[in-house]
Chain A
Amino acid sequence: MRKGGCLGCAFPVVIGLGLVSLALIIIGFLSGPIGGKIFNVSPPAWMSVHSPEVELPAEEIFTFGPFVIANSVIAAWITMLVLIALSWAATRKMKVIPTRLQSFFEFALGWVYDLCKEVAGEENGRRFFPFVVTIFLFVIMNAWLALLPGYGSISVVNTHGEEVHLLRPANTDINMPLAIAISSFVLVGYFGLKSRGIHFAGEYIRVGGLVSGLKLLFRGKIGAGFGKIFMGAIDAAIGLLEFLSVIVRMVSFTFRLFGNMTAGEILLLVVMSLAPYLVALPFYGLELLVGFVQALIFGGLTLVFLTLAVAFHEEEAA
């Protein structure tokens, strides 16, 4: 322990850092539009920050067959590369007594693994874990890598001759959340059908009452038949509502992630354009947290829906 220090540095260092920070904040204010307007100064051209232009659709870089390679797709590739490289490095030489990287990796994934087992039970937790953790990792990496410099600041000319950003945070393009949401619900459907078979579908298509009511009607039992048809119609409507709720869930999945991430991106762009230096730092911290929370919500809700899709089955069987 050094004596007379502050925050682990000697006092002169702390004071020096404080002065540098203060200078950066002042420069940041002056070079942004607020300070510029108040003090009527304009920063040199290389320092000025463009006011943000928000575009919801991702811009296309080039096309490859049916695939449109937008800037968000390239960002997703980078995320994939980082994830794969990280996993490879961490699991390359797996040992029972782990190295530092392996133990961090194990801690992070083990946390999600325990969550899965806690929510879905031992056996189902093991089955769901790869999907849940992939969603978690993909979303969180997309969000966190988007905070790196280069995202939204490198421009290229695409095949249509337009100047576009090379990288756009993948989560802020609605196609990415939608893709994950669709995958998640395909998974829910798959696991539901696999473990419950026809009963899973029967939750959404409830025409049994209607059909038996019609049969009664044909046999001439008018009163009973109409009663049955009435009940059957209600049942069928409930099934329809259930189906609708699934669609709504998917839409909410998509827009929750898309909305949060886009809002965060816009927030950062605005803060950066108002005061480029240092002032934006707390917002970056906020975005780190938001990225984690959104990844957790996306993965966690998928886990819950997966569990629900297979859990009814066990109740029925019991």
Chain B
Amino acid sequence: MEKIFTSLGVNPGVLLAQVVNFVLVLGILYLVAYKPLMKMFDERSKKIKESMEQAELIRDKAAQAEKEFEERIQAAAKEGQEIVGRAVRTGEEVRQKAQQEASKEAEVLIGKARREIQRERDGAIDELRKEFADLTVLAAEKVIDRSLDKKAHKEIIEKVLQDSTVIRKG
């Protein structure tokens, strides 16, 4: 048995040295390579996970912002419509009011003008009547060539005029 071992080269001293070598390399590589490497792997996967979560978060946020934006735009549009509606209504009111006022004023003016015209007409008619009476008397005098009692005649004419339908006061 021992001969087999020695002819194969099994040597306790070398074996011990190689075991020590193996353990040494295991220990040193653990410190130098595996520990930092595993830490790096963990860190990287953590970072990837984090960034993915962050991306998810950002996507959610963006979706939310978009929704909010949409809502706000809709609200703004509604408000705008309201404002326009209100303005239109106000404008309508103002117009109507202006129209009413204008027509009222016009009516007043028209009334006033009408009254003025009436007065003017009445005055003119009076004047005319007077003139007419004088003229008539004058004419009559001429016709009959004598002077009439001016006063009595005037009354007669006045009466005639009163009865006539042609020149009547309004």
Contact = CB atoms under 8 A, between A and B. Distances in A.
A154 interface: no
A181 to B, nearest CB: 10
Contact of B37 (A57, A63, A91, A175): A91
B21 A73 contact: yes
Interface in B82-137: none
Interface in A110-131: 110, 113, 126, 129-131
Contacts of A179: 15, 18-19, 21-22
B144 interface: no
B36 A91 contact: yes
A183 B22 contact: yes
Interface in B1-59: 6-11, 13-26, 28-30, 32-34, 36-41, 43-44, 47
Most A CB within 10 A of own CB, among B17, B18, B23, B47: B18
A84 interface: yes
Nearest to A109: B37
A87 B33 contact: yes
A66 B34 contact: no
A25 to B, nearest CB: 35
- For this complex, into which size category does the number of interface residues on chain A fall? 35 or more
Contacts of A106: 37, 40-41
B21 A68 contact: no
Given A84-B32, A94-B40, A131-B26, A175 B21 contact: no
Contacts of B24: 80
B33 A90 contact: yes
Interface of A (DSSP majority class)? helix
A88 interface: yes
Interface stretch (A14-22, A133-141, A283-291): A133-141
B25 A58 contact: no
Interface of B: 6-11, 13-26, 28-30, 32-34, 36-41, 43-44, 47
Given A72-B14, A94-B40, A109-B37, 8 more contacts: A56-B8, A88-B32, A134-B22, A173-B9, A174-B8, A174-B9, A179-B18, A183-B19
11 contacts: A56-B8, A56-B9, A58-B9, A58-B11, A67-B16, A69-B17, A76-B21, A91-B37, A130-B26, A173-B18, A176-B18
